Amino acid sequence: MSERQLHREHQSMSIMYGTYADILFVLFPFLVIGMQRLWDGRLYETLMNADLSIAAAILAGLAIGRFVLGLVTNRDLGRYKERIVFFIALTLFVVLGPAIILMLSITGGTEVPGFVAFVQPVLLIIAISLYSTAVSISNILTRDDGQESYTANADEHLTDIAHVPGARHAPLDLPRHTGTDSW
């Protein structure tokens, strides 16, 4: 395995561990609540309360943030912009909207139907999957693949920005307000 492949594999593993650490930190308070309900003999109550919908909504919000980060980081996305917007819409339509509706319906005071015990875990699993996908897409889009393909074909003695340790994309160039605009 080449040094570049080892570096890419190490980077992918770090991203994976970071992603699942984020998910575990989000789910930790809900795990504590579930363990307390298990201790009290009321574990089924966890499935009938809004806890899992709240966790799914949090993860969906984080996923949308990651998708937007991937969208605004690189100006040269071209064909990928529509795909990212699709994933944002999918996250809103499949997870965030139903999670909010379930939260409002469950806390509304009426009797909670039995299908909620099935729907909430499914929403949470979909939210975890979408967040993992969002992190992967965001990192793929912010990676400098164009430079890597150039240096893969270049001679080893040539210096390139991709060989410089810690080299990053330039920050977004946003126009500054100078106060001299006449309205």
**Residue 34 lies inside a defined structural domain of this protein:** yes
pLDDT at 139 over 70: yes
Q: Among all chains, which residue has been given the structure tokens 């949470």?
A: 124
Domain count, the chain: 1
**Residue 41 lies inside a defined structural domain of this protein:** yes
- The residue range of the domain holding 119 is 3-142
**Residue 84 lies inside a defined structural domain of this protein:** yes
**Residue 51 lies inside a defined structural domain of this protein:** yes
The per-residue pLDDT for 162 is: 45
Q: Among all chains, which residue has been given the structure tokens 């492949």?
A: 5
% of the chain exceeding 90 in pLDDT: 35
Summarised one tens digit per residue, pLDDT across range 56-86 is 999 999 999 988 887 777 666 666 788 888 8
**Residue 168 lies inside a defined structural domain of this protein:** no
pLDDT at 179 over 60: yes
The per-residue pLDDT for 155 is: 40
**Helix (H) or strand (E) run with residue 44 in it:** helix 43-48
Q: Which of 3, 32, 27 is nearest to 125 (CA)?
A: 27
Q: How confident is the model at residue 15 (pLDDT cuts 50, 70, 90)?
A: confident
Q: Among all chains, which residue has been given the structure tokens 């040094």?
A: 3
**Residue 172 lies inside a defined structural domain of this protein:** no
pTM: 0.72
**Residue 71 lies inside a defined structural domain of this protein:** yes
**Residue 120 lies inside a defined structural domain of this protein:** yes
* Mean pLDDT confidence for 37-43: 89
Q: Which of 64, 106, 119, 112 is nearest to 88 (CA)?
A: 64
Average pLDDT, the chain: 79
